[in-house]
Structure 1
């Protein structure tokens, strides 16, 4: 049931989509990008539920309708991963899949390292094991002093346009950029500090669950070769580069629920065949 749960000492808002009469539907956790919320999955979640999944879409602490973490804005993506494991435990989910984008994709990779035995499949979009420290963590920390200036929302809108793929319909691009203006700049910058400092290179060998890394060919935030390198370090991992797509596949691509359904089914088949 969609609503609030207490996780880590604060209220978390969680969407829980499933078709009535399907109590055993496989669960998939859908994770949003830096500074955003589960609203990024608003078109995908109902269609994915109709395809036979229980779709769990949380707002991370301090995002959307979730309360801030008691310790303040989170700048460690590993802390988000630990929070999500507490969330699924609270919901009674022993096994589940994960699909995440941007910081959500990196968190999905982190979950794969921490809890492979519990994961049926992981789709990590717009993510790699290490960004090479880009953007500068020092610069991002310095920006925390002035990110709440009114012009920040304009910068967010323009920045969203910059990382969308060339295949996105202009009206759809305008809606995505407008929705992204809603972010809390302090939370967003803290997320980006987590993005730039998150390093799983030495831990990829711990991943034993089926993994699919996805990157848009027009994504200015990612180097596709780093994504391919990450996939090459995990046994059996898949890697897909999406032509004409930027940083937000689930928002940019019409009919994305069917695409994700296909990826999850392929990964589940890989697990069953192993």
Structure 2
């Protein structure tokens, strides 16, 4: 069952889908682990439309929000957000409103950075974190150029730039029809919001907080991702105790959209995080 809700957070309505474990699942609703899925810059929860339902079939309760100003959420009261820590605070308020504690978190791009943001807040421990397509340090964009671009983001060419830029960010192992669908869906974004998100991407840095991580972490990079350096992601993962790194061959910036059976892969990662977390929690309690 998919539950759609609007929640008042920071004086604006935020939209969230909650995908409950299906009737055929072997896990009871009350015992189902919760997974928070975070979308990429300028996009919204629709990026997780196939994965969320498939994870629910496997017994997870899946929470898929639209960040402020994205999709069906109202804009942030203060205008477009350029500091990803603001989104991090908003996500915790969302989880509080839903009475969720210690969720698994999986995010991509700015969602990957937000996953690291939440994982490095020891006062609010997670069950586990899967950060995809994100480095711990500042994103590789020209922040000054993006700030100038905010003056003309509504130009008619922006939609085509988004479409073509998305195609260029998809790995060559992805079938042409699937790549075209991803790019077509992405061109719906609000250019003011996406440029602001990318400014946040370009200044967000948790490298000095990686030592604070209290949950198992899995960092994932696409081999053909033009927005990151996989070797840097691998190095970042080595700075987190017990973290795992995975390189996806032939995949670009959007694994959850590019990989057809991504839910199967993600559920395997989540199972592994749960196994790694169990002895750590026992040790912490003793």
Question: TM range, normalised to the smaller chain?
Answer: over 0.9
- Secondary structure (helix, strand or coil) at the match of 1:165 reads coil
2:54 counterpart residue number: 47
CA contact (8 A) 1:117 1:208 kept: no
TM-score of the pair, normalised by structure 1: 0.97
* Worse-matched range after superposition: 208-217 or 112-121: 112-121
C-alpha offsets along residues 87-130 of structure 1, whole Å, 9 cap, x if unaligned?
A: 00010002211000000000000000114753111000001111
Alpha-carbon contact 1:12-1:59 (below 8 Å) kept: yes
Picking from 17, 20, 39, the partner of 1:18 is 20
2:208 is aligned with 1:202: yes
Partner of 1:211: 217
Whole-Å Cα distance in 2 between the matches of residues 44 and 210 of structure 1? 21
Gap regions ≥5 residues in structure 1: none
The residue aligned with 1:237 is 243
CA distance in 2, matches of 1:122, 1:269: 13
Following TM superposition, by how much is the alpha carbon of 1:152 offset from its aligned partner in structure 2, in angstroms? 0.1
Q: Which residue pairs with 1:9 in the alignment?
A: 11
SS of structure 2 residue aligned to 1:263: helix
Structure 2 residues without counterparts, runs of 5 or longer: 281-286
Say whether residues 1:104 and 2:106 are aligned partners: no
Counterpart CA distance in 1 for 2:128 and 2:160 is 37
Of residues 182, 188, 191 in structure 2, which corresponds to 1:182?
A: 188
Name the structure 2 match of 1:29: 36
Stretches of 4+ aligned residues off by more than 2 angstroms: 115-118
Aligned-residue offset at 1:226: 1.2
**Aligned-pair Cα RMSD in Å:** 1.1
1:120-142 deviations in Å (ceiling 9; x for gaps): 110000011113x5211111001
